[in-house]
């Protein structure tokens, strides 16, 4: 099989995070070392052991949908889906790619998704009437309970609905797929979108991921798993990637969408080019040793035809989890030693779930574009079990390449390499 010569560039960037809903707000906040984590205000957390998170203030999906019929669909969009639709519009605006200006049959969607938490009001009344003895009675549920469930409730929470709504709103008739690998999903989606373009199955792809974990069910579920930080009195110091004393992740909401485009197609329409995607790799880290992380990085470097010393910096997953930070750091060290700086931004943003990989990739692209890399919020000394060279201060760019890593606590790993565009 002939090797594809089609090059893939990033022409549109759209991000919504607890630090703002514009690229300028995100970038300036990171340079200033700001943190978007604070006490949760969107629902009552007073009885929960964790009462902090990263919320997006004042988000209104209607502002991002010009089409009247599209606005009507908001009622069947969970907040996660609303964020996706908004980020997609921002990416289209950034790429200067208005609806009707692209060949719809060569315009595809590849999206990363996770479990979309349901709103309590959707199933709460049905569960309450059916749980007469503390457990749901299925006979009552099938009779009285189901009558109280909104008929379209499931359409709000299916993990493929992000890609569906975006494709409908923008008339994208090309390849359309959803990858449901939680915290690594949107990076895997970006890798697949790149391959689709290189295979000449599309010229333009919207790819990304969004998530909203600021939800009672998410907080309760993660509390039961024991994954959440309980530093309620000092929220800005709660998410501590790779640092000593980290006690868990901090849930947040947001994510992003990136427009990927075949280079010559982008040039013909005069599109802005922010970066080029030159390498991608994925692996599974059996045993959580870091070996899988290293394999994914090496696969991405091999595809990009680069050696580790060509990389300016690594944008880590850095969940601030006591266990996953250790094996991620070991994988980074296996490839780069302690020679390559590592930036981690969940200390600023919180954990955006499936939205984190793309939002953090966008930060990497902005760093290369502006010629400087914002330092991450490393609160306290680095854990000796995490052998990385942490990037704490804003640092000038020295080479045109960065690596982004994402992973899940089950061991799925992915890495990509992007090159700055000159």
Q: Mean pLDDT across the stretch 378-399?
A: 96
Q: Mean pLDDT across the stretch 130-154?
A: 87
φ, ψ of residue 290 to 5 degrees: the values are 100, -15
> How deeply is 303 buried, as exposed, middle or buried, from its count of CB atoms within 10 A (0-12, 13-18, 19+)?
middle
In which residue are the tokens 């890609």 written?
163
Can you tell me the distance from the alpha carbon of 93 to that of 194, in angstroms, rounded to the nearest whole number? Answer: 20
DSSP annotation string for 224-247: HHT-B---TT-GGGT--TTBTT--
DSSP annotation string for 330-394: HHHHHHHTTSSEEE--HHHH-B-GGGHHHHHHHHHHHHHHHTEEPPP---SSBPTTS--EE--S-
Confidence class for position 135, pLDDT limits 50, 70, 90: confident
| Nearby residues of 403 by Cβ (< 8 Å), 6 or more positions away | 297, 300, 301, 311, 313, 314, 315, 415, 416, 417
**What confidence score (pLDDT) does residue 97 get?**
96
In this model, does residue 4 exceed pLDDT 80? Answer: no
Q: Mean pLDDT across the stretch 131-159?
A: 88
Q: Are strands 37-39 and 52-54 parallel, antiparallel or unpaired?
A: antiparallel
CA torsion 52→161→317→239, rounded to 10°? Answer: 0
271's tokens: 């599109």
pLDDT in tens, 232-287: 999 999 999 999 999 999 999 999 999 999 999 999 999 999 999 999 999 999 99
Which residues is 342 bridged to in the sheet? 314, 390
- How large a percentage of the chain has pLDDT more than 90? 83
Confidence class for position 79, pLDDT limits 50, 70, 90: very high
Q: Which domains does the chain have, with CATH numbers?
A: 8-119+153-268 (3.40.47.10), 122-151 (no CATH), 278-420 (3.40.47.10)
Q: Report helix, strand or coil for 276.
A: strand
Q: Report helix, strand or coil for 34.
A: coil
pLDDT in tens, 81-100: 999 999 999 999 999 998 88
In this model, does residue 1 exceed pLDDT 60? Answer: no
Closest CA to 18 of 337, 333, 356: 356
Confidence class for position 3, pLDDT limits 50, 70, 90: low
Can you tell me the distance from the alpha carbon of 179 to that of 368, in angstroms, rounded to the nearest whole number? Answer: 28
Can you tell me the distance from the alpha carbon of 169 to that of 348, in angstroms, rounded to the nearest whole number? Answer: 32
pLDDT in tens, 186-227: 999 999 999 999 999 999 999 999 999 999 989 998 888 888
167's tokens: 């494709």
215 or 106, greater pLDDT: 106
Q: Mean pLDDT across the stretch 24-52?
A: 96
391 or 152, greater pLDDT: 391
DSSP annotation string for 161-186: HHHHHHHHHHT--S-EEEE--GGGHH
Of how many residues is the chain composed? 422
In this model, does residue 64 exceed pLDDT 90? Answer: yes
Closest CA to 407 of 316, 302, 274: 316
Confidence class for position 68, pLDDT limits 50, 70, 90: confident
Q: Mean pLDDT across the stretch 352-370?
A: 98
Mean of the per-residue pLDDT values of the chain: 95
In contact, 341 and 398? CB cutoff 8 Å? no
- How large a percentage of the chain has pLDDT more than 70? 99
């Amino acid at each position: 099989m002939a090797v594809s010569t089609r090059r893939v560039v990033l022409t549109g960037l759209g991000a919504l995070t607890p630090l703002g809903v514009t690229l300028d707000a995100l970038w300036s906040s990171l340079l200033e070392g700001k943190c978007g984590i604070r006490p949760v205000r969107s629902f009552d957390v007073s009885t929960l052991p964790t009462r902090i998170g990263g919320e997006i203030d004042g988000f209104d999906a209607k502002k991002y949908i010009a089409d009247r019929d599209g606005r009507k669909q908001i009622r069947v969009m969970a907040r996660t889906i609303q964020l996706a639709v908004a980020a997609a519009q921002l990416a289209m605006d950034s790429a200067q790619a208005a609806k009707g200006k692209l060949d719809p049959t060569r315009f595809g969607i590849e999206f990363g998704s996770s479990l979309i938490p349901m709103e309590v009001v959707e199933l709460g009344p049905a569960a309450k009437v059916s749980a007469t003895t503390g457990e749901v009675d299925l006979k009552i549920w099938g009779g009285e309970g189901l009558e109280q469930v909104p008929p379209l409730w499931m359409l709000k929470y299916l993990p493929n609905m992000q890609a569906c709504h975006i494709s409908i709103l923008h008339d994208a008739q090309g390849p359309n797929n959803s990858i449901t690998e939680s915290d690594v999903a949107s990076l895997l989606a970006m890798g697949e979108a790149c391959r689709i373009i290189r295979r000449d199955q599309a010229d333009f792809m919207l790819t990304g991921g969004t998530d909203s974990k600021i939800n009672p069910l998410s907080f309760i579920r993660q509390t039961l798993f024991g994954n959440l930080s309980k530093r309620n009195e000092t929220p800005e110091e709660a998410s501590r990637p790779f640092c000593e004393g980290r006690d868990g992740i901090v849930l947040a909401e947001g994510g992003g969408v990136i427009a990927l485009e075949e280079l010559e197609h982008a040039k013909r329409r005069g599109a802005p080019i922010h970066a080029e995607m030159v390498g991608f790799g994925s692996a599974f880290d059996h045993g959580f040793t870091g070996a899988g992380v290293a394999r994914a990085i090496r696969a991405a470097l091999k595809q990009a035809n680069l050696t580790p010393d060509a990389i300016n910096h690594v944008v880590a997953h850095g969940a601030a989890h006591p266990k996953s930070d250790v094996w991620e750091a070991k994988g980074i060290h296996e490839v780069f030693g302690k020679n390559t700086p590592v930036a981690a931004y969940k200390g600023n943003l919180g954990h955006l779930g499936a939205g984190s990989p793309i939002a953090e990739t966008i930060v990497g692209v902005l760093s290369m574009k502006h010629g400087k890399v914002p330092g991450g919020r490393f609160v306290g000394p680095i854990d000796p079990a995490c052998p990385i060279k942490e990037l704490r201060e804003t640092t000038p760019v020295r080479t045109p390449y960065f690596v982004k890593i994402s992973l899940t606590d089950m061991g799925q790993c992915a890495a990509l390499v992007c090159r700055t565009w000159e």
